[in-house]
Amino acid sequence: MYEDNEYQGEIFNGIPVQESLFEVGPDEQVGYRVPTACQVAGITYRQLDYWARTKLVVPSIRGARGSGSQRLYSFKDILVLKIVKRLLDTGISLQNIRLAVDKLRDLGTNDLATITLVSDGTTVYECRSNEEVIDLLGGGQGVFGIAVPGIMKELTGDISSFPSERIDEHYQAEAINFQDELAARRNRRTS
């Protein structure tokens, strides 16, 4: 142990501090392709595609831009996908999940690491303390909770074994020419 108690006192000042139990996740310049997002979140490609088209969960790193382009999902996007999947598995309607995701979208990854989602089967509540969870349980209704920090820890471990792509800060999506060969010939003839 430390023999210099003055030094130890300066570090802690009598206030216990708990470090984060796990890294919050990769930085925001790292993206994961669709197959990785599907596998890690436990969803099908059809679900992911539908949720992207209906703007439930859209890729924040890079969206699809025409044929052949790859959507890239961030760590937070995949975390939200896992949350959506768990809510669906418990019987929450997609309409109510959409309301919950709209609230989650505004939170940063660090904020998400502090909440527990609790539901009575129809409404999804965001709880930030044990007291809030206990208050909801006190209503006598059947409720279930989703501890987001646990999902983040699980995701951090799972996603580390999958390939990721780092996005250059100066990344510019290449321009897509929607003009086909026949239209190009017509333009040359009329010009």
pLDDT per position as a tens digit, 53-70: 999 999 998 887 766 668
Helix-strand-coil split of the chain, %, nearest 5 = 45, 10, 45
The answer to whether the predicted template modeling score (pTM) of the entire model surpasses 0.95 is no
Query: What are 77-107's pLDDT values in tens digits?
Result: 999 999 999 999 988 899 999 998 998 888 8
Q: Indicate if the pLDDT at residue 159 is higher than 60.
A: yes
Residues written for the chain: 191
Domain 25-168, classified CATH 1.10.1660.10, yes or no: yes
What's residue 26's pLDDT?
Answer: 52
pLDDT on residue 180: 58
Better pLDDT: 176 or 119: 119
Q: Which two tokens stand for residue 117?
A: 């989602």
**C-alpha–C-alpha distance, residues 89 and 30, integer Å:** 28
Give the start-to-end residue ranges of the domains of the chain.
25-168
